[in-house]
Structure 1
Amino acid sequence: MIGQVAVRRFPALTVSTPRIEVRPLTAGDAEAVDEIFADRQTQRWLPVAESAGRIEGHAWCTELARQRRDSGDGDHYAVVRREDARVVGCLWTRRTDWGARVTEVSYALAPHARGFGLAAEAVDALAIALILEHGLQRVEVRVAPGNVASRRVAEKAGFSYEGLLRNAGFVRGARVDLELWSLVRADLH
C-alpha cells in the first residue's frame, strides 16, 4: 500500500516483583488514579498547564490509555501493591520511537505509598521488561531539576544521568530544563 505507514501497537505488558505488580490500567482503577493525580506534590511536577484542570482518572485509565497504546506511542500502567491489591501508583510510557527502539517512562505514586522504594521497583521492572521482552534498546526518564524524589527514583532504578536538556519541558505550564536519565540494554549485563 503506497503512502501508508504501519503503526506498531504498544505491547501488552504485565510485570511482577515480590512486592508489586505493574499492569495496564482499567476503568476500575479510576478512583485510585484520581487520588494519585489530585495530590499537591504530584501536581507540582506534572507537565500540564494549571489551566488544563485536573487529570480525570476514568479518561486516563480508558480512552487516553487506549489512544496511546493503539498509536504505538506508549501505555498507562497501574502499580499494584501485592500485600493489599491496592493501586498505589501510575507509570506511563510515551514518546516511543520504534525505529530507534526508545521510549520514555514517567511515574507518580500515592502519598501513602511514598518512601518505600515502590516507584523505583516499578520503574526498574517495567524498563527491564521493555528491554528484554519487547526489544527496546533504551528507556529514558526526564526529571525537572528540583524534583529530588523523582531523581532518587531514577537513581535507585539503575538509570544513569546523561545531562541537562535545556528548556526541554514544562511543569505546570512553565518552561523548565529537564535532567535526562537512561537505562540501556548494556546496563543489564
Structure 2
Amino acid sequence: MTSISEQSRPQPIADVVPAGRMSGSEQPVLHIPDSGFTLRAWRSADAPALAAAWQDPAIRQWNRPPTGGVEQARERIARYARRWRTEEAASWAIARTEDDSILGSVALGDMDLRHGIAEYIYWVLPAARGAGAALRVTSRVAEWAFHDLGLHRLELTHGVANTASCRVAEKAGFRLEGTKRSAALHADGWHDMHLHARVQGDV
C-alpha cells in the first residue's frame, strides 16, 4: 500500500529525448527529393572546401567562421563527429548529389536532449543561393529533429538586417518570437538578433 508521503513525493520528469539515441547510431544521410542535393556527415576530404567557404564574404558577414586554413577545417570536421557521439550537436554538409561538391552547411547546435531543445544553424554558398536550397534544408532538418530524434523545440536566430534568413525562417515555420538586443558581435559591431522558434506540433 502506498503511503501518503510517497503519493505526494514529486515524480521525476523524464528526459524528452533519452540519452544514447544519437550516439547509439550512425549519423543519417538526409535525402531531399528532386532538390539536387543531399545532407550527409562531413568528411575529412571536405576540409579544403570548408576552409574555402569560410572566406566567402556573405558567410563571414553573418557568421563567425574560423580564419584558419585546411588543417583547422580538418580539425573542425573531426569535432563535428565527436559532438555527434557526445550528443551535443548534429552537423551536415549540404552536398550536390551529382558530384558530391559542397554547397553549404546545416547543424543543430547547443543540443540539450534532456530538455528537448537545439539551435538551428546554417549557411549556403553562392551556388546554392536564390534557388530555395536554404528553405528545403531547413524544413528537412526540422522534420528529422522532431519526428526521428524527438526534440520539442528548435530555435533559429539571425541578424535583424539579414532579411533573407528571416524569410527562410518564417517560410519554414519558425515563428518570430522577438528581438534580442545587441546579442551578436559581427565584424562591423554588435547586432540585434531576431529569435525564431518552431516547436513540436507547429504546422
The TM-score with structure 2 as length reference comes to: 0.78
* 2:125 paired residue number: 110
Q: Give the unaligned 5+ runs of structure 2.
A: 1-17
Structure 1 residue 53 and structure 2 residue 53: aligned? no
User: 1:170 corresponds to which letter in structure 2?
Assistant: L
* 1:27 paired residue number: 44
**Root-mean-square deviation over aligned CA pairs:** 2.3
Task: Spell out, residue by residue over 1:94-153, the C-alpha distance to the aligned partner (whole angstroms, 9 max, x if none).
Answer: 111112100011111111221111111111101110100001011111111111222122
Kept after mapping to 2: 8 A contact 1:9/1:71: no
Distance 1:13 1:34, change over 3 A: same
Aligned to 1:122, which of 130, 137, 152?
137
How many residues align? The count is: 179
In 2: Cα distance, 1:102 partner to 1:84 partner:
34
Structure 1 residue 73 and structure 2 residue 93: aligned? no
In 2: Cα distance, 1:169 partner to 1:180 partner:
12
Distance 1:42 1:124, change over 3 A: same
Task: Spell out, residue by residue over 1:135-181, the C-alpha distance to the aligned partner (whole angstroms, 9 max, x if none).
Answer: 10111111111112221221232211111122333223843322111
In 2: Cα distance, 1:182 partner to 1:158 partner:
8
The TM-score with structure 1 as length reference comes to: 0.83
Kept after mapping to 2: 8 A contact 1:88/1:113: yes
Moved more, 167-176 or 121-130: 167-176
In 1: Cα distance, 2:64 partner to 2:189 partner:
9
* 1:170 paired residue number: 185
Of the two structures, which has the highest relative contact order with CA contacts closer than 8 Å and spacing of 6 or more?
A: 1
User: 1:124 corresponds to which letter in structure 2?
Assistant: S
Identity of aligned residues (%): 26
* 1:146 paired residue number: 161
Runs of 4+ in 1 over 3 A off after TM superposition: 6-11, 172-175
1:78 Cα deviation (Å)? 0.5
User: 2:46 corresponds to which letter in structure 1?
Assistant: D
Distance 1:144 1:81, change over 3 A: same
Structure of greater Rg:
2
* 1:3 paired residue number: none
User: 1:37 corresponds to which letter in structure 2?
Assistant: W
SS in 2 for 1:41: helix
In 2: Cα distance, 1:9 partner to 1:54 partner:
33
Structure 1 residue 133 and structure 2 residue 148: aligned? yes
Distance 1:9 1:27, change over 3 A: farther
In 2: Cα distance, 1:10 partner to 1:94 partner:
13
